[in-house]
Amino acid sequence: MARYYDVHPDNPQPRTIGQVVELIRAGGLVVYPTDSCFAFGCQLGNREGLGRIREIRRLDGRHHFTLVCRDFAQLGQFVHVDNAVFRLVKASTPGSYTFILPATREVPRRLLHPRKHTVGVRIPRHTVAQALLTELGEPLLSSTLLLPDHDEPMTQGWEIKEQLDGMVDAVVDSGDCGTEPTTVVDLSRDEPEILRRGAGDPSRFE
């Protein structure tokens, strides 16, 4: 049975954040809020958690998972960023963007795109997501909570708990966080390529 945590959106309770992070460190899979939709989250090295996300979402091996990072310094440990890309990403974070970039050796091979050796990264603006990342001290391996046969992500924490009870270990609810996922931009080649238009303004990459 999934635990349900009701967290204040602006002043998340430290004790509750600590309990959620303890669960993540113990191998748990959680649902948590971001500035563009709820997301699944687990520790970077959690092979079982990765498999559970794949199973729940029915994802194939080509899906780009996302490392949700606390800040730019942390992001730079996991992806290669040249000067031109640095300026683009720095100007757009924190915010509702996911960037596809070449991964460093810090990223487990099973998370990489099989041909491109890339991974998604993002820095959220959401207060609760930032509190979790700060307490955890490392990125969350994440994927948007978009279920098979659903046109839009779920937005109500209690509905998510009902739907996914037994499939995830906890739901962190701080209120509605919208249905529009991040704008996804592939920066792994010479020219930016917008793979998905979402909550972030894509015009700066066109």
User: Domain segments of the chain: what residues?
Assistant: 3-205
- Classified as helix, coil or strand, 187 is coil
pLDDT at 112: 83
User: Residues 156-172: pLDDT tens digits?
Assistant: 999 999 999 999 999 99
pLDDT at 109: 87
Residue 129: pLDDT band by 50, 70, 90 thresholds?
Answer: very high
Share of the chain above pLDDT 90, in %: 79
For residue 29, the tally of other CB atoms under 10 A from its CB is 25
Distance of alpha carbon 153 from alpha carbon 200, whole angstroms: 16
pLDDT at 20: 98
In the predicted model, is pLDDT for residue 62 greater than 80? no
Residue 140: pLDDT band by 50, 70, 90 thresholds?
Answer: very high
162 in Cβ contact with 46 (< 8 Å)? no
pLDDT at 178: 82
- The domain made up of 3-205 is a member of CATH 3.30.1780.10: no
pLDDT at 150: 87
pTM listed for this prediction: 0.94
Q: Look up tokens 């687990």; give the residue.
A: 42
Residue 123: pLDDT band by 50, 70, 90 thresholds?
Answer: very high
∠ CA 124-94-154, rounded to 5°: 30
Residue 84: pLDDT band by 50, 70, 90 thresholds?
Answer: confident
Distance of alpha carbon 59 from alpha carbon 38, whole angstroms: 17
In the predicted model, is pLDDT for residue 53 greater than 80? yes
pLDDT at 115: 80
